Structure 1
Amino acid sequence: MVYSLPKTNGIFHLPAPSGKYTVGCLDIFSRPREEKLPLFYRLYYPTSCQVDHRRFPSWLPHTKYAHAYVAAKWPVPLCRTTIIDRLKCTLSSHATSLLAFFFKWVCGDPKIYAIESGNPTNQRFPLIIFSHGLIACRTTYSSLCTDLASHGYIVAAIEHGDKSACVRMNLESPDEQISWLEREVLPPGKPEGELRARQLDYREKEVIECLHSLKDIDEGRHSDYFIKHSNDTAKVVDGLGCFKGIIGTEKAIISGHSMGGATTVRCLTNHDQYFFAGIALDSWMFPLKQEANIPNTEKLLFVNFERFQGEKNLTTMKKYETSFDGSEFNSNVITIKNARHYACTDILVAFQGATLGRFLFGNQDPNFNSYESLVTNSKLFLAWVHKHMKNETHLLENALKERKQHLYTGINLKSKSD
């Protein structure tokens, strides 16, 4: 069956999460702090509010994000000095703006299945810090993040400030104007090793500062942070004070997709004391090619998407593979067959249900559609965390058995790149 976005009261929205908790979300910024990076992340969490579709936030929180997604795919050329060059640049810029409108229209401009700024449930939950991939942002993985939160986790989805996001929103106080940090684009022909190494260093520091900020908020020290509501009607949550005592930073999990997967590996390598488990989704291993240190691989799960993974990437990943004796689950590398690189994002779910979306992103597998792929990512994620929390593997082995025709374990160096 082909999956398409659900629609309630005429409004398209991302799929409802599968757990028992209703999910809330809000955006948190840091105020300027000496020798600290500016932080911005979206928090997903179990809320005490009832489901209210009128309070679902937009998946595209600003038109700037649609424009940035499109510009990354169809970049505007650099303007030069001649009149003809400037005319070409202007026309290309207008075309990108038109395509951004088209982007919103084709994806249905969906809402996220979460209550914006709903009051959190008065219960302590483990923390997940999530790192996005290149040309993504804090909302790109909303279906996955809301599903994890609905099962009793608090998820902090960082919008990275290393110039790898499609665009990054900046704000130093609630009353100031928003500014934007654009993505850094490599000039044609320039090697990307130096840029990715610099970005990975920045991301590592940003993740740890994000963890410390959430520890501050959990302990009631929140003067350095503030909430940004998308509109006045969303102001329901009673500041950050209501999160005191409920963010389980002592049981933190690190995860990410693509370059966020590399960020996950790096953070487990250098900050093993902070994270008791890590899940790397379709990791792009290029930024880790020169890494000498290997993390505690028993903490680390790779979930790969077959159509992206090629021999060079898998060869680097092979250094981090480990096996588990006495278990049917025999590797910390699991691959979803025929999955595209976007399989854990909202991109395919949002687009492949429409004719034009299928033209752009290809038809869905009728036996294992984009939504089923998302659910599989969440189930593997939750089962891996359960394994480390409870020292039990049965949830993971059950997840593998349920979808065994769509998965395989271990690294297959004959896999083809997309």
Structure 2
Amino acid sequence: MGAIVALPPARGPHPVGCTDVLVGHSRQGLFLRLFYPCVARPGAAEPLWIPRAEYCGALADAALRRRCCSALLSIAIGSCKVPVSWNEPLKPRSSGYPLIIFSHGLGAFRTLYSSLCSELASWGFVVAALEHRDHSAATTYFCPAEAGTEEWIPFQRVPQGQKEFYFRNKQVHQRAQECVRALRLFQDIAGGRSVPNILPQGWDLSVLKDSLDLTKVAVLGHSFGGVTAVLALVKEPSFRCAVALDAWMFPLENLLYPEVAKPVLFINTEKFQTPESVAKMKRLSSRNSQTRIVTVLGTVHEDQSDFAFLPERLFSLIFGRRGTLSPHKALAITSRAALAFLHRHLELQEDFGQWEQLLEGVGDSVVPDSPFTRSHL
């Protein structure tokens, strides 16, 4: 049976390569998927979208709360591939690529934003999509040196009797710290330190040594990852700006809002945000005049992930009603707004300024600020 999910190919000028990076043998290590401009080669292999069967089961449990759907999900999406080249060589560039650290949402993992990450890579970025180890991923794993097998870290719901804020606040601080550690990893590589990738696939991280411009680093994320990106700005001065897709602002403590001095681009969908959440975003926009809030009309929360490209019936089965805007158009608006914002705040040379009007909420299917509509979720 062929895959019934077709992820869109990236539209930028660079072919996109992809590899997985696993560093360290403990929970304190890092696991990420790297998207990067590559040297194109006919017939290059493409990676699976859902990298292993364990992720299908965990996704069924975390997203649907129905483990029994694991087999159905595996049949429906298990053979889907990402239209990028697996493990191909990095495309050389004398000036160095800017770096983006990407943080996934609650119950997701490193591959579920491949459409956006590969789109950004096709415009000349190296994008590191983390898989968080705070029990907010659908599942993830690490490889203890002595065990010889993986140790899995399952998704965890809020324990009974515990206040959700305190549980999620602890997680968001761990997630933001993982974003900082990911940046440290690339700083170590750029400094010439040997960083072994313990996965047996042979992509040598040292090729990045002279290929990154670490004066131009941003942090992006969706939902729980969106607020993670905001907090990462507080924890790490090297992050120059953040793009927060439909940020779930709930887990961030109030005393931190005055600390977010860097600019943030909030790109919201029409059906997820609440007045309380948008009020928190506006606290940040009053702190920094370069912070922007825009809403993409006709979209729901999952439209900012690869789930937007699920067939109608499967999407409805998992998430309920979907948005009215074409997912291809939603991806184009989101990526172009992000590129214009990164162009402005990372001081890039490329012509991403052509999409700057999106930052003011000007354009088809985009408006400034956020309609106060509550999620059906």
Q: TM-score, normalised by structure 1?
A: 0.80
Structure 2 portions without partners, runs of 5+: none
1:253 aligned onto 2:253: no
Identify if the C-alpha distance between structure 1 residues 407 and 338 changes in structure 2 by more than 3 Å, giving closer, same or farther: same
1:112 aligned onto 2:82: yes
SS in 1 for 2:310: helix
**Cα deviation code 1:61-117 (max 9, x no counterpart):** 0111110111113447xxxxxxxxxxxxxxxxxxx2x41121133346310111111
SS in 2 for 1:404: coil
Are the aligned partners of 1:136 and 1:165 in contact in 2 as well (CA < 8 Å)? yes
Identify if the C-alpha distance between structure 1 residues 20 and 183 changes in structure 2 by more than 3 Å, giving closer, same or farther: same
Identify if the C-alpha distance between structure 1 residues 49 and 173 changes in structure 2 by more than 3 Å, giving closer, same or farther: farther
Q: 2:20 aligns with which of 23, 27, 47?
A: 27
2:364 maps to: 405
SS in 1 for 2:247: coil
Q: Distance in 1 between matches of 2:202 and 2:15?
A: 15
Q: 2:63 aligns with which of 65, 73, 94?
A: 73
Name the amino acid aligned to 2:83: Y
Q: 1:14 aligns with which of 3, 7, 11?
A: 7
SS in 2 for 1:220: coil
SS in 1 for 2:207: helix
1:43 aligned onto 2:34: yes
SS in 2 for 1:148: helix
Are the aligned partners of 1:173 and 1:226 in contact in 2 as well (CA < 8 Å)? no
Once the two structures are superposed, the pairs formed by residues 375-386 of structure 1 within 5 Å of their partners are 375-386=332-343
Are the aligned partners of 2:265 and 2:293 in contact in 1 as well (CA < 8 Å)? yes
Q: Distance in 2 between matches of 1:145 and 1:158?
A: 11
Q: Distance in 2 between matches of 1:116 and 1:268?
A: 31
1:121 aligned onto 2:91: yes
What is the CA-CA distance between 1:58 and the residue it aligns to? 0.5
**Cα deviation code 1:239-296 (max 9, x no counterpart):** 222222112222111111111111111111232x211221011000011143334345
1:300 maps to: 264
Q: Distance in 2 between matches of 1:221 and 1:191?
A: 42
Greater length-normalized contact order (CA 8 Å, ≥ 6 residues apart): 1
Q: TM-score, normalised by structure 2?
A: 0.89
Are the aligned partners of 2:294 and 2:360 in contact in 1 as well (CA < 8 Å)? no
What is the CA-CA distance between 1:386 and the residue it aligns to? 0.8
1:369 maps to: 326
Larger radius of gyration: 1
1:85 maps to: none
**Cα deviation code 1:36-67 (max 9, x no counterpart):** 922111111111132536x1110110111110
Q: Distance in 2 between matches of 1:200 and 1:39?
A: 16
Q: 2:149 aligns with which of 173, 177, 181?
A: 177
Once the two structures are superposed, the pairs formed by residues 139-154 of structure 1 within 5 Å of their partners are 139-154=111-126
Name the amino acid aligned to 1:283: A
Q: 2:299 aligns with which of 336, 339, 343?
A: 339
**Cα deviation code 1:279-316 (max 9, x no counterpart):** 01100001114333434556211111120001222222
2:140 maps to: 168
Q: Distance in 2 between matches of 1:415 and 1:190?
A: 28
Are the aligned partners of 1:23 and 1:44 in contact in 2 as well (CA < 8 Å)? yes
What is the CA-CA distance between 1:206 and the residue it aligns to? 1.1
What is the CA-CA distance between 1:365 and the residue it aligns to? 5.5
SS in 2 for 1:214: helix
SS in 2 for 1:213: helix
